[in-house]
A = this chain, B = another copy of it.
């Protein structure tokens, strides 16, 4: 996911005071001990990353990880664990071969990674590079008839920026204080001063769409692009450029390849000086499986209190990743934390009053598809706001999807009534850096699917570490980029929040149900 601060709805005045909250420090200390001294989180993370491989939704890697999760939940003694279809996604996709090299004017391996759902080459293809250098669609016409069989890139004028700032970061006390002091703006912000930027962006987008259309129609061998995040050997790579691909139809679009900034600029400069640049391309990928339904992993530990056991505390994270690496920080970290929480519950035999339900979602990277599908099947319709009884039974949903950094606090999503409750719950974790509550919300991931239907869904504030600089949707999102001690801290805090929510006399306070409104599908 990519976080995004959104405007928010303010909830009613505080009705709960921190001193009223009762917590069981004995249990919390057991959780901390089990999650620290006996942690299995790195072994879980290893299986979700190295052992499973990339976990693009419905790919074999996704199912390896999903089946591992189910097996572990059963092994630990969960009362329920299995794959659950949420709706139609489309086939899986996986890379079978990727060989990309410059062969003229001299040999050079090209640092690059093919984009999901794009075409294979017919074996090893040799192709010269054409650089499209145009200001507008009129100028684009000069390339008509010249792109068949060529490798195409669009002229780049931006420059490499040396990193005088660290790749890895933790929140400073000042930054956390600013988050804590945040006061929500009740007025949603319009485009305002950004209108001009939107217009420029729109024109560039339209030109890019026309370029991609021409590349496709002419039958180019491949379309090379490079994100500003693709430097130093790290490649940022996900789906094809431009309009969102229809990944449900099993028809790949023109081969697109994400290339390192250094290599695309070298090729670009050589072509611009009049040199013939030739590439060898051998890219093979395949659509996988015949079942187009998408599947989440759902597991449960049944509640033990006769009056409360039908109520539910949910915890979750998306299990799917992009293809460039094994999605360690996006989001094996979140899944490993949630699985470790389930292990801690069963190992300590915690006997929660309410039912605990874990959900590992698929299709998050394509638009929260797995969580929204599950919500639609079980909770209600996010457009009409018609709900089923389950909507009233889920006390809270806790999500992790901000990378590998330890928890520093919670985004309250404007739900100020939970502030004193969470303040109390965080007390045992002040010493490990988690004490900040902010009314800010954070978009882009699966807690939204719950908030959309009035169920309190929360994301945690986590240290960035290398999320924005190195790992997010890149070839570097691998096991070694995880921070073990941070993951352990996360598991103990989430387990505590889940336990406290399960044992609490009342469900967590809710914001008002959002009004039904046209929602962009």
Does A470 lie at the interface of the complex (its beta carbon under 8 Å from any beta carbon of B)?
Answer: yes
Which residue of the partner chain B has the closest CB to A275?
B51
Does A84 lie at the interface of the complex (its beta carbon under 8 Å from any beta carbon of B)?
Answer: no
Does A246 lie at the interface of the complex (its beta carbon under 8 Å from any beta carbon of B)?
Answer: no
Q: Is the CB–CB distance between A265 and B479 below 8 Å?
A: yes
11 extra interface residue pairs, beta carbon distance < 8 Å, beyond A162-B481, A265-B479: A51-B273, A53-B108, A94-B106, A98-B109, A111-B111, A159-B480, A162-B483, A232-B232, A232-B234, A262-B478, A266-B480
Minimum CB–CB distance from A487 to chain B (whole Å) comes to 13
Per-residue CB proximity of A459-498 to B under 8 Å, as 1/0?
Answer: 0000001100010000110111101000000000000000
Bound-state CA distance A96–B60 (Å) is 34
Which residue of the partner chain B has the closest CB to A465?
B162
Which residue of the partner chain B has the closest CB to A64?
B106
Stretch from A140-148, A165-173, A313-321, A374-382 that touches the partner: A165-173
- CB interface residues, A 25-46, toward B, < 8 Å: 46
Minimum CB–CB distance from A72 to chain B (whole Å) comes to 15
Does A235 lie at the interface of the complex (its beta carbon under 8 Å from any beta carbon of B)?
Answer: yes
Does A50 lie at the interface of the complex (its beta carbon under 8 Å from any beta carbon of B)?
Answer: yes
Bound-state CA distance A108–B53 (Å) is 8
Q: Is the CB–CB distance between A476 and B233 below 8 Å?
A: yes
Q: Is the CB–CB distance between A165 and B166 below 8 Å?
A: yes
CB-CB under 8 A from A166, the residues of chain B are 163-166
Q: Is the CB–CB distance between A53 and B164 below 8 Å?
A: no
Minimum CB–CB distance from A234 to chain B (whole Å) comes to 4
Of the candidates A60, A96, A232, the one having the most CB atoms from chain B within 10 angstroms of its own CB is A232
- What interface size band does chain A fall in? 35 or more
Copies in the complex: 2
Does A514 lie at the interface of the complex (its beta carbon under 8 Å from any beta carbon of B)?
Answer: no
CB-CB under 8 A from A235, the residues of chain B are 233
Q: Is the CB–CB distance between A97 and B105 below 8 Å?
A: no
Q: Is the CB–CB distance between A111 and B164 below 8 Å?
A: no
Which residue of the partner chain B has the closest CB to A230?
B233
Q: Is the CB–CB distance between A475 and B51 below 8 Å?
A: no
User: When the two chains form the complex, which single residue of B54, B261, B466, B476 contacts A480, counting CB atoms closer than 8 Å?
Assistant: B261
Does A198 lie at the interface of the complex (its beta carbon under 8 Å from any beta carbon of B)?
Answer: no
Minimum CB–CB distance from A211 to chain B (whole Å) comes to 23
- CB interface residues, A 296-318, toward B, < 8 Å: none
24 contacts between A and B (CB under 8 A): A46-B269, A50-B270, A51-B270, A52-B106, A94-B107, A97-B101, A97-B107, A99-B99, A109-B113, A159-B480, A160-B480, A162-B167, A163-B166, A164-B169, A167-B232, A231-B480, A232-B232, A232-B470, A233-B234, A262-B478, A262-B479, A265-B480, A266-B480, A269-B479
- CB interface residues, A 54-89, toward B, < 8 Å: 54, 60-61, 64
- CB interface residues, A 261-280, toward B, < 8 Å: 261-262, 265-266, 269-270, 273, 275
Does A95 lie at the interface of the complex (its beta carbon under 8 Å from any beta carbon of B)?
Answer: yes
Minimum CB–CB distance from A268 to chain B (whole Å) comes to 10
Q: Is the CB–CB distance between A266 and B479 below 8 Å?
A: yes
Bound-state CA distance A105–B64 (Å) is 11
CB-CB under 8 A from A54, the residues of chain B are 106, 108
CB-CB under 8 A from A111, the residues of chain B are 111, 233, 475
User: When the two chains form the complex, which single residue of B160, B168, B476 contacts A164, counting CB atoms closer than 8 Å?
Assistant: B168
CB-CB under 8 A from A61, the residues of chain B are 106
